[in-house]
Amino acid sequence: MSHIQNSYENQKTNSISRPRYGCAIGAMYTASAIPGVVPITHCGPGCADKQYVSLAFYNGFQGGGYGGGAVPPSLNASENEVVFGGNERLKELIQASIKVIDADLFVVLTGCIPDLVGDDVPSVVSKYQEKGVPIVYAETGGFKGNNYTGHELVTKAIIDQYVGEYKGEKKKNVVNVWTEIPYQNPFWRGDLAEIKRILEGIGLEVNILFGHESKGVKEWKEIPKAQFNLVVSTWLGLSTAEHLEKKYGQPFLHIPVIPIGAKATSEFLRKVSDFAGLNQEKTEQFIQEEEKLYYKYLEDFSDFYAEYWWGVPSKFAVVGESSYNLAISKFLVNQLGLIPVKQIITENPPEEHKDNIRKEFENIADDVSVSPLFLEDGYLIEQALINSEEKPAIILGTTWDRDAAKQLGGNIVEIGFPSSYEVILSRANVGYRGALSLIEKIFTIAISASA
Amino acid sequence: MGKINLASTTVVSREQRLGTIISWEGDALKLVEESGYSVPGCTGKKGNGCKLCEINGPFTQGSVCSEQMVECQAGNVRGAVLIQHSPIGCAVSQTIYNSIYRNGLAMRGLPVENLKIVSTNLIEGDMVFGGIGKLEQTLNDVWERYKPNAIFIGTACATGIIGDDIDSVASEYKEKFGIPVIPLHCEGFRSKHWSTGFDATQHGILRDIVRKNPKKQEDLVNVINLWGSDVFTPMLKELNLRVNYVVDLATVEDLAQMSEAALTVGFCNTLSSYLAQGLEQNFGVPELKAPQPYGFAGTDAWLRGIAKITHREELCEAYIKKEHERVTPKIEELKKKLKGVKGYVATGSAYSHGLISVLRELGVEVNGSLVFHHDPIYDSEDPIQDSLAFLVNNYGNVENFSVSNRQPYQLYALLKKVKPDFLLIRHNGLAPLASRLGIPAAPLGDEHIAVGYEGIVNLGEAILAILKRKKFHEDLSQHIKLPYTKWWLSQDDPYILAKNPEIIYQD
């Protein structure tokens, strides 16, 4: 089995079709996901639009919100800036942006052009910083990496250039949460809201940092005061947490599995509670209340799950970034008893984290072990899916995987970028409540396709 | 007479060929008077007579690039593959063009599938050492995986700057694979307007795909369009003519046989200008010289033009008569319902000219429009194709006519002034602002919705439906804070920063 799987990884070349991430400047959506923050893109005329229509539109139709979409000031660099450089034009654009755009913080992101022609963006931006303008910059030329790389660059830029130094007291029971990437994960708004809700449930004060439940840059200013950082992801956010540990002396707790369903969520909360030194009784009380409700709903669901005449599918594949892939696979295996037949990880995680990710999948349940594939190219992903030794009846993937699902005679549930045939507002897939809506989604799709 | 020169692999940009501008304000009549058909020599070719002054300012919001138009055209040809020789960021928009491709195929009743675009995925090291090796690898991957009938290679800003020689690679692989391998030079920074990307794709198709020794098909009409629904077949069937849709959703063979057609027509001069003239000048296929097919006047003239070239006048007159009789009562009904309604058109340039005619046929008041760019002249340089003049002459002036390249901050001031009940839009990014101001927009994703006689009815019905959505947008507008400063929101002149750029330095 491992031989066949490896053959796809060995077929990788530089080519990528049907991409499952943006480039580093896609992190303009990391910036605009913070309430009141507006990106300024220093790049060619199409870069910002490409990220917009892909990450924020044909991906759950999340919308550009306050500071994204067609709002961000952009240089629309022309031949002139390629030949003579773009420093002067950037200065002018920043000055004009301050006049026209109402932002609590501007984040300048660079594209390929300024990074290639060698514009001195730090010196342009620092002049404004010295004048007290809330503005930071990140060098995010597309050839530097994908929007996962960009996300960490922007996060770090805001911390270092805007939040700044802090030597004061820490606040007990306050946590900064680092987990999914806004917009790249089309469910980020709902997921973050649920994570915040459950952490508050056990007595924490939560800096969720992104989305409608964040207090924007005010909340970012509180980062250094938090008791600890919580990284809920396979690898993303770890380098941020390590940076914060050095910078502010903050410890961090790393939980690789985003919790979905009562089993995983209760376990997650106990770990956090333990690490933070919270009142155990209060934690258990919250868990009990949540589980009571959760299992009442599962009881209702069990009639369908146990005796739906026409059967419901068992074998599933997940195609997506490592964190969500792991989280969903774990939930479907451990709480629903479904059978994982193909798990493909698509965000190209840094080499040094791949072994840990593999280990998590190997130990997905006491009795189930999975060897994931690391593939980014849509062609190879499709080959791996359709030639799967055991055919998946449900693919939890993206729009790109619709054709594979059709060929396999199975169902497609779009859970990652791009999700062009989903409309997503506040829906979540994680925690107690998200798990229930994930169950609804999967089985609605499965049975509505049946007749 | 402008010549479409196919000797070079690089297309001449719109601003150089046509004198295209992306920022202007005034009324439609003034723009007609200042444009190329009225002002001799005003085609941007260093002519002295050109008065078309652009008013570019210090503030700009993100636009759209030529490479995106290459993706949406060359990337939507069936049986071909587009290689994006680029870092991964350029490839992210495969997402939108895939959605368009899938939905377009479904609308035309063709098998739905993912599009086939592959990025060479260049990274930092390639910027230093060049990306040709990776391009060759991707060419081989594409050949091995898909055995396509043609391969397009599009450039990106990054590959343009590092200077990868894609022309040589393309000729080498053309020999090797025995299929057209077509370089498309479409770096975003090379043109201020993305419509140059249409021309880049069409230039490549003319050079490398269109058949050089055509066998004439006297009943075949090239229809240059995008992915819209099939409204041209029923129309042209009445004249015993067959439709050859190009470029989107066409096969490579459909593109090759363009040189065999009796003539070429389009639904929008912005899109069809270059390809239609390229076919005329290099392959002897005449371009229809007529107004665009919108409203009664435009559609009548458009059909008669086709009939004249193809010698089908009698069939044509019978059809025109029949259609007038059929749709007139429907339009009268719609007019009653649309009485007192005010519309605003924010679309591509020539398309807006057509849509305003249709709105005026429906009795909808239109006193404002925003177009993303303006071509003072089209490639044919024939005054009959002056679509803006046709609009003004047949339907009157448009008081507030603005050229603004996808700048929502300007649209805010424009809408404040014009106060429409609804917007017609096509490109993304403007309707979200209108929505936040309580104004519904009808997005014309199917670009054929307003074409021909039935188009008048279609558009009327679409507007009636969209007006009902005012409830949603008005409610929303009561609960929204816009991302602009109080200062900007209090301005009445959308071009004030262009006229007085020093304002940005004042507190």
CA distance A102 to chain B (A): 5
Task: Please list every residue in chain A whose beta carbon sits closer than 8 Å to the beta carbon of residue B162.
Answer: 116
What pLDDT, on a 0 to 100 scale, did the predictor assign at position A451? 82
* Residue from the list A74, A146, A399 with its beta carbon closest to the beta carbon of B61: A74
Q: Among all chains, which residue has been given the structure tokens 């993706």?
A: B71
Closest residue of A to B144, CA-based? A379
Peptide bond into A341 cis (omega under 30): no
Q: Tell which residue, B165, B198, B196, B187, has the closest CA to residue B84.
A: B187
User: Is the CB of residue B134 less than 8 Å away from at least one CB of chain A?
Assistant: yes
**Structure confidence by residue, pLDDT tens digits, B293-310:** 999 999 999 999 999 999
Task: Decide if pLDDT at A365 tops 60.
Answer: yes
Which one of A29, A50, A403 makes the best mutation probe of the B interface by having the most chain B beta carbons within 10 Å?
A: A50
- Taking residues A66-89, what's their average pLDDT? 97
Spatial separation of the C-alpha atoms in residues B281 and B283, rounded to whole Å: 6
Strand runs (DSSP E) across A63-216, as ranges?
A: 105-110, 135-138, 171-178, 205-207
**Structure confidence by residue, pLDDT tens digits, A317-358:** 999 999 999 999 999 999 999 999 999 999 999 999 999 999
**Beta carbons of B497 and A402 less than 8 Å apart:** no
- Taking residues A97-111, what's their average pLDDT? 98
Model confidence at B440, pLDDT cuts 50, 70, 90, reads: very high
Task: Give the tokens for residue A334.
Answer: 């451990």
**Beta carbons of A102 and B483 less than 8 Å apart:** yes
Q: Return the CA Rg of chain A.
A: 22
Q: Among all chains, which residue has been given the structure tokens 């090796």?
A: B133
Phi, psi of B367 (to 5 degrees): -120, 15
Residues A90/A119, Cβ–Cβ less than 8 Å: yes
User: Is the CB of residue B117 less than 8 Å away from at least one CB of chain A?
Assistant: yes
**Beta carbons of B98 and A71 less than 8 Å apart:** no
| Contact map slice: A 416-435 vs B, CB within 8 A | 417-418, 420
Task: Decide if pLDDT at A4 tops 80.
Answer: no
Model confidence at A251, pLDDT cuts 50, 70, 90, reads: very high
**Structure confidence by residue, pLDDT tens digits, B247-289:** 999 999 999 999 999 999 999 999 999 999 999 999 999 999 9
Task: Give the tokens for residue A268.
Answer: 């997650």
* Residue from the list B65, B122, B429 with its beta carbon closest to the beta carbon of A45: B65
What pLDDT, on a 0 to 100 scale, did the predictor assign at position A1? 43
What pLDDT, on a 0 to 100 scale, did the predictor assign at position B288? 98
For chain A, the distance separating the N- and C-terminal CA atoms, rounded to the nearest angstrom, is: 35
User: What is the average pLDDT score of chain B?
Assistant: 95
- Taking residues B416-437, what's their average pLDDT? 95
**Beta carbons of B484 and A70 less than 8 Å apart:** no
CA distance B406 to chain A (A): 8
**Structure confidence by residue, pLDDT tens digits, B7-31:** 999 999 999 999 999 999 999 999 9
- Taking residues B156-184, what's their average pLDDT? 97
Q: Return the CA Rg of chain B.
A: 23
Partnered with residue A154 across adjacent β-strands are none
Spatial separation of the C-alpha atoms in residues B318 and B16, rounded to whole Å: 43
Spatial separation of the C-alpha atoms in residues A339 and A356, rounded to whole Å: 22
Contacts of B27 (CB under 8 A, 6+ apart): B397, B398, B399, B400, B401
CA distance A124 to chain B (A): 16
Task: Please list every residue in chain B whose beta carbon sits closer than 8 Å to the beta carbon of residue A143.
Answer: 87, 122-124, 126-127, 158
**Beta carbons of A49 and B429 less than 8 Å apart:** yes
User: Is the CB of residue B71 less than 8 Å away from at least one CB of chain A?
Assistant: no
Model confidence at B2, pLDDT cuts 50, 70, 90, reads: low
User: Is the CB of residue B305 less than 8 Å away from at least one CB of chain A?
Assistant: no
For chain B, the distance separating the N- and C-terminal CA atoms, rounded to the nearest angstrom, is: 51
Give the number of other Cβ atoms within 10 Å of residue B481's Cβ: 9
User: Is the CB of residue A36 less than 8 Å away from at least one CB of chain B?
Assistant: no
**Beta carbons of B93 and A96 less than 8 Å apart:** no
User: Is the CB of residue B445 less than 8 Å away from at least one CB of chain A?
Assistant: no
Task: Please list every residue in chain A whose beta carbon sits closer than 8 Å to the beta carbon of residue B142.
Answer: 15
**Beta carbons of A51 and B89 less than 8 Å apart:** yes
Which one of A76, A151, A212 makes the best mutation probe of the B interface by having the most chain B beta carbons within 10 Å?
A: A76
CA distance A217 to chain B (A): 16
Task: Please list every residue in chain A whose beta carbon sits closer than 8 Å to the beta carbon of residue B190.
Answer: 79
Which one of B16, B20, B95 makes the best mutation probe of the A interface by having the most chain A beta carbons within 10 Å?
A: B95
* Residue from the list B62, B433, B505 with its beta carbon closest to the beta carbon of A49: B62
Tell me the whole-structure pTM to 2 decimals: 0.97
- Taking residues A88-110, what's their average pLDDT? 98
Helix (H) or strand (E) segment spanning residue A157:
helix A147-158
* Residue from the list A13, A50, A82 with its beta carbon closest to the beta carbon of B89: A50
Spatial separation of the C-alpha atoms in residues B80 and B100, rounded to whole Å: 16
**Beta carbons of A100 and B485 less than 8 Å apart:** yes
* Residue from the list B59, B117, B433 with its beta carbon closest to the beta carbon of A93: B59
User: Is the CB of residue A145 less than 8 Å away from at least one CB of chain B?
Assistant: yes
**Beta carbons of B62 and A52 less than 8 Å apart:** yes
Q: Is A54 exposed, middle or buried (0-12, 13-18, 19+ CB in 10 A)?
A: buried
Task: Give the tokens for residue B415.
Answer: 């809408």
Cβ burial A410-436 (10 Å sphere, 16+ → b, else e): bbbbbbbbbbbbbebeebbbbbbbbbb
In terms of DSSP H, where are the helices of B441-494?
Answer: 452-467, 470-477, 486-489
Residues A283/A309, Cβ–Cβ less than 8 Å: no
**Beta carbons of B92 and A26 less than 8 Å apart:** yes
What pLDDT, on a 0 to 100 scale, did the predictor assign at position A59? 98
3-state secondary structure of A333: helix
- Taking residues A352-379, what's their average pLDDT? 97
User: Is the CB of residue B493 less than 8 Å away from at least one CB of chain A?
Assistant: no
Strand runs (DSSP E) across B286-348, as ranges?
A: 342-347
**Structure confidence by residue, pLDDT tens digits, B307-330:** 999 999 999 999 999 999 999 999
**Beta carbons of B114 and A402 less than 8 Å apart:** yes
Peptide bond into A418 cis (omega under 30): yes
Task: Give the tokens for residue B499.
Answer: 């006229």
Task: Please list every residue in chain A whose beta carbon sits closer than 8 Å to the beta carbon of residue B409.
Answer: 100
Q: Tell which residue, A89, A162, A169, has the closest CA to residue A132.
A: A162
- Taking residues A111-130, what's their average pLDDT? 97
What pLDDT, on a 0 to 100 scale, did the predictor assign at position B45? 47
Model confidence at B37, pLDDT cuts 50, 70, 90, reads: confident
Q: Among all chains, which residue has been given the structure tokens 């008081």?
A: B399
**Structure confidence by residue, pLDDT tens digits, B216-255:** 999 999 999 999 999 999 999 999 999 999 999 999 999 9
- Taking residues A26-31, what's their average pLDDT? 98
Task: Decide if pLDDT at B50 tops 80.
Answer: no
**Structure confidence by residue, pLDDT tens digits, B100-144:** 999 999 999 999 999 999 999 999 999 999 999 999 999 999 999
Strand pairing of B117-119 and B80-84?
parallel
Strand pairing of A394-397 and A315-320?
parallel
Model confidence at A2, pLDDT cuts 50, 70, 90, reads: very low
Helix (H) or strand (E) segment spanning residue A1:
none
What pLDDT, on a 0 to 100 scale, did the predictor assign at position B1? 45
Give the number of other Cβ atoms within 10 Å of residue B217's Cβ: 14
Task: Please list every residue in chain B whose beta carbon sits closer than 8 Å to the beta carbon of residue A55.
Answer: 92
Task: Decide if pLDDT at A5 tops 80.
Answer: no
| Contact map slice: A 91-130 vs B, CB within 8 A | 92-93, 95-103, 111-113, 116-117
Task: Please list every residue in chain A whose beta carbon sits closer than 8 Å to the beta carbon of residue B93.
Answer: 46, 49-50, 53-54
Cβ burial B308-331 (10 Å sphere, 16+ → b, else e): ebbebeebbeebbeebeeebeeeb
What pLDDT, on a 0 to 100 scale, did the predictor assign at position B48? 42
Model confidence at B463, pLDDT cuts 50, 70, 90, reads: very high
What pLDDT, on a 0 to 100 scale, did the predictor assign at position A7? 80
User: Is the CB of residue B481 less than 8 Å away from at least one CB of chain A?
Assistant: yes
User: Is the CB of residue B194 less than 8 Å away from at least one CB of chain A?
Assistant: yes
**Beta carbons of B63 and A74 less than 8 Å apart:** yes
Task: Decide if pLDDT at B291 tops 80.
Answer: yes
* Residue from the list B94, B428, B483 with its beta carbon closest to the beta carbon of A18: B94
- Taking residues A97-104, what's their average pLDDT? 98
**Beta carbons of B65 and A25 less than 8 Å apart:** no
Look up residue A176 and give its amino acid. N
CA distance B464 to chain A (A): 25
3-state secondary structure of A146: strand
